[in-house]
Structure 1
Amino acid sequence: MIKKVLNALGRVVHDRMTAAQKQRMPKTLKGKVAALLRDEKKTGGQAGAVKRLARRLDVSPEAAYRYLRGKRKTPPKAIMDRIDAEVLKIHKPRVQQNIIKDAKRSPVKVNMRAEIGYSNSRSGRKTPDSRMRNIAKEMPQQYAERLWDALRDGDEAGAKDVIAEWHQNEYIHEGGGNNVFTTCAVKEIDFIDFEIRP
């Protein structure tokens, strides 16, 4: 599963790292994938490490071998984002933890295009066909903090639940009336980005 929400949060953490903190991270695709393979061997052993790496990146084992051998240097952006996010997880975890700790004190601007479904517990009605909706709003700290916890736990489904709860409580329920019985669910995400607000 492509973890779009967690990958986007990981990019924010990376952007907030200083140049000195980023300096020792591998720069090339081959170096990044090799670092991830070493991590797989360290945590799961030598046997099957490349296959586990391929599952981790949601690519075929053959593609993983091509990246490791330097035979392919420009994978699709979605795969490159995934690789960068995974490298970030294993690079200086304490630095990341400190950045996340600071970020929890701030609201987060969410910019996304996603398929959101609605159901109403009073009427029993559900949206038969969810629609893609554009959302560009600031998420209050009480929701944003739970997003960072989801990043720490690697919980993509939990992160999507936080976004759905924020959308339903802040923008659907505020309409009052029958809207307060409406529940939202984020189904598919076309794109998503986050920005830590001052």
Structure 2
Amino acid sequence: MGRQVMPATPVLDALRDIHRLERDRLAAVPQKGMPKSPQAQVAFLHRRLGRSTPRVAALLGVHPETVRRYLRGQRRNPPPEFADRLHREVAARFRSRLARQADDEMRRRGLRAYITATFTFYSPSAGTSEDGRERRLNEDLTPSETERLLAARDAGDEERALQIVGQGVGEAYFDLRGTGMDVEVRDLVHIKFEL
């Protein structure tokens, strides 16, 4: 039976998966829910757009006085088209806020990496090991390694992300931190992250 073919960007895809799961977890927390009423939604946009009534009005395609009426609670039942547009704009901004919170939580706690791959090592004194064998490891990445990993994700750099994960997992598992040895991942079979 043959090996599964990994997607073109397995590390970045796994990071996107954990990011989405954490964002969804944060969205499920009741006190951090998205504003529900039209007045609360308009107020949310008003705060997010620097308390600029004309900017909110332009975003929603309405007159600034309409925005003021919603802010004062004088209008409560928007027409369906306006309600849809309002919901879409609020949801887009709310998701971006949750995405930042998810990234902050990952940076603060660090990630746990589950990886199946072949690891090789390089030491300035001993050279490169040719005895790479497939290993199934799960280790915690430090918050600084997680920070660098998220930066590689934001840059779309799959190669750098794999290098960071390989080095972090290898150093933790083989107790190489501070030894100057480099760890390289070859033949990645599986990767997954957890908080």
What residue number does 1:35 align with?
none
The structural deviation recorded for 1:173 is: 5.4
What residue number does 1:154 align with?
156
- Alignment length, in residue pairs? 124
Structure 1: segments with no counterpart, 5+ residues: 23-91
What residue number does 1:135 align with?
137
Look up the equivalent residue of 2:113 and give its one-letter code: V
Q: How does 1:162-181 map to 2 (within 5 A)?
A: 162-172=164-174, 174=176, 180-181=179-180
Residues 1:2 and 2:37 are matched in the alignment: no
Residues 1:114 and 2:117 are matched in the alignment: yes
Q: Verify the 8 A CA contact 1:114 1:191 in the aligned structure 2.
A: yes
Give the direction of change, closer, same or farther, for the CA distance of 1:19–1:164 in structure 2 (3 Å limit).
Answer: closer
| TM-score, normalising length: structure 1 | 0.53
Flag the structure with larger Rg: 2
Q: Verify the 8 A CA contact 1:172 1:182 in the aligned structure 2.
A: no
2-side partners of 1:156 and 1:21: how far apart? 28
| TM-score, normalising length: structure 2 | 0.54
Q: Helix, strand or coil for the counterpart of 1:158?
A: helix
The structural deviation recorded for 1:107 is: 1.7
Structure 2: segments with no counterpart, 5+ residues: 1-6, 29-94
Name which of structure 1's ranges 150-159 and 10-19 shifts more when overlaid on structure 2: 10-19
Q: Verify the 8 A CA contact 2:122 2:129 in the aligned structure 1.
A: yes
The structural deviation recorded for 1:110 is: 1.0
Q: Verify the 8 A CA contact 1:173 1:182 in the aligned structure 2.
A: no
What residue number does 1:194 align with?
193
2-side partners of 1:21 and 1:173: how far apart? 38
Deviation track 1:138-166 (CA, whole Å, cap 9, x = no partner) reads 11111111111111111111111212322
Give the direction of change, closer, same or farther, for the CA distance of 1:19–1:123 in structure 2 (3 Å limit).
Answer: closer
Q: Verify the 8 A CA contact 1:116 1:186 in the aligned structure 2.
A: yes
Deviation track 1:27-49 (CA, whole Å, cap 9, x = no partner) reads xxxxxxxxxxxxxxxxxxxxxxx
2-side partners of 1:168 and 1:20: how far apart? 31
Residue identity (%): 20
Q: Verify the 8 A CA contact 1:112 1:135 in the aligned structure 2.
A: yes
Q: Verify the 8 A CA contact 2:152 2:161 in the aligned structure 1.
A: yes
Q: Helix, strand or coil for the counterpart of 2:109?
A: coil
Q: Helix, strand or coil for the counterpart of 2:159?
A: helix
